[in-house]
Amino acid sequence: MTPALLDPRPAAAAGAPHGQLASAMTGGALRLSCHKLIEDAARATILLVPGLLRLDVRPLEDSLQVFARALHPVPPRWEIIDGTADEAATDEPYRLEWRVDAPLEPHPIRGRVTVTMTVDFDQGAAHFVAHALFREILA
Amino acid sequence: MRRVALTLRADAVEEVLDVLMPLIPQGVYERVLDPQRTEVAFSGDGLPAAAELEAIAGDALLGRDEEEVADSREERRRRAGRTWTVAGRLRVRSPDDPPSGDGVRDIVIEPAPGAFGTGAHPTTRGCLELLLELQPGGGLADLGCGSGVVAIAAAQLGWEPVYALDFDERSVGATERNAQRNGVAVRAVLADLREIPAPPAHSLVANIPLDVHERIAGSLSPASARVIVSGITASQEPAATAAYGRAGLALRGRRVGGGWATLWLERP
């Protein structure tokens, strides 16, 4: 049975203003996808799991601020597992990938979140694409 | 276009944003007014009515301003402000932002496309924080100068002469303009540190990728006794420390933030 936090319907409804897609995967996993053009210095949401977490980003001229907001009394842990932050000269979009662990009862939830950012200095904006997959850890 | 600016209790901003963000999908502009107050501003069509915003903010609401503004990205960015305070002793701001007026050292940086160094990035802040800790004196070279903010801070603090190098023409131009704006002498030079060794200044500040650090460390002048190493991730710190260690420098201090590391190394 899918836990309430991984039900795609509330995630789709709450994420709709942000253009977020939410769907159920085999085994009860929740898959999310969202893309958004965000102006320099604006903080905007690019991922939302109601009752669990929200991910906001704020592009600046030479940096990116990330806000991982916990929406559950037991805050999920975010750990960067990959990214291109150490490859400043690359022509590829800036990319960050996290593992997210929510130590919930009776079963913890684990997720993987990937965000890519393409900046257009002249337009004063950045385009973000976020993907995420969350599933309950039963073992 | 309607623009709304809410002044909120700083400790309640996140709770207000939980409700506000779905209503403002294009995003909000946060500005710290002081340690107790934060401004959250947003603009667009179809914004929530005043009564709804007051209900959302509740007792966190300290003030609300509304006005009609031009539908312009530049205007929204300008109003968001570009002021960054470093270690409570130095403020980096754009010409559009007001001067500090509280005795904090002020550096004015004109935003320029492609010129890294607004004061927002953890690597720039790490360089400035460590620079503030050091005893100024002798020559300094800012390697990968971007906007020139580190070189300008060094000149203000008392290093002389100050050189600023970058492989990007836009950065060299931005550094020259910003140095002039701040009334300090900085010699900006177009140079690719993958091709030439670092200048033999007593102090170096290098906010550049690890592979360039390794090249610089491999050809470091004996006259360079102190290096602030930045532009590396925390996981790259051992490799950077080892490269400069082979050149005879030892770790004296460090700053870590946002996954980035900034190191202070000196000859014993």
Asked if residue A87 has pLDDT above 80, the reply is no
The verdict on whether omega for the bond into residue A106 sits within 30 degrees of 0, i.e. cis, is yes
Judged by a CB distance cut-off of 8 A, whether residue B223 touches chain A is no
Helix (H) or strand (E) holding B79: helix B73-80
pLDDT in tens, A30-67: 999 999 999 999 999 999 999 999 999 999 877 888 99
Question: Would you write out chain B's pLDDT as a tens digit for each of its 268 residues?
Answer: 999 999 999 999 999 999 999 999 999 999 888 889 999 999 998 899 999 999 999 999 999 999 999 899 888 888 888 888 898 889 999 988 888 777 788 999 987 776 678 888 889 999 999 999 999 999 999 999 999 999 999 999 999 999 999 999 999 999 999 999 999 999 999 999 999 999 999 999 999 999 999 999 999 999 999 999 999 988 899 999 999 999 999 999 999 987 889 999 999 9
Contact (CB<8Å) A63/B118: yes
With CA atoms as reference, report the closest residue to B194 among B219, B160, B231. Answer: B219
Rounded to 5 degrees, φ, ψ at B242 are -65, -40
Contact (CB<8Å) A38/B232: no
> Residue B109 and residue B87: Cα distance in Å, rounded?
18
By Cβ distance, the residue of A86, A122, A125 closest to B233 is A86
Interface test with B, best of A20, A62, A65, A79 (most B CBs within 10 A): A62
pLDDT of residue A119: 86
Helix (H) or strand (E) holding B156: helix B149-157
pLDDT in tens, A89-111: 556 788 889 999 999 988 999 99
Judged by a CB distance cut-off of 8 A, whether residue B30 touches chain A is yes
Contact (CB<8Å) A60/B120: yes
pLDDT in tens, B175-229: 999 999 999 999 999 999 999 999 999 999 999 999 999 999 999 999 999 999 9
By Cβ distance, the residue of B80, B114, B259 closest to A121 is B114
pLDDT of residue A91: 67
Judged by a CB distance cut-off of 8 A, whether residue B46 touches chain A is no
Q: Please give, rounded to a whole number of angstroms, the shortest distance from the CA of B25 to a CA of chain A.
A: 5
Q: Please give, rounded to a whole number of angstroms, the shortest distance from the CA of B114 to a CA of chain A.
A: 7
What is the pTM (predicted TM-score) of this model? Answer: 0.82
Q: Are strands B29-34 and B37-44 parallel, antiparallel or unpaired?
A: antiparallel
Q: Please give, rounded to a whole number of angstroms, the shortest distance from the CA of A46 to a CA of chain B.
A: 9
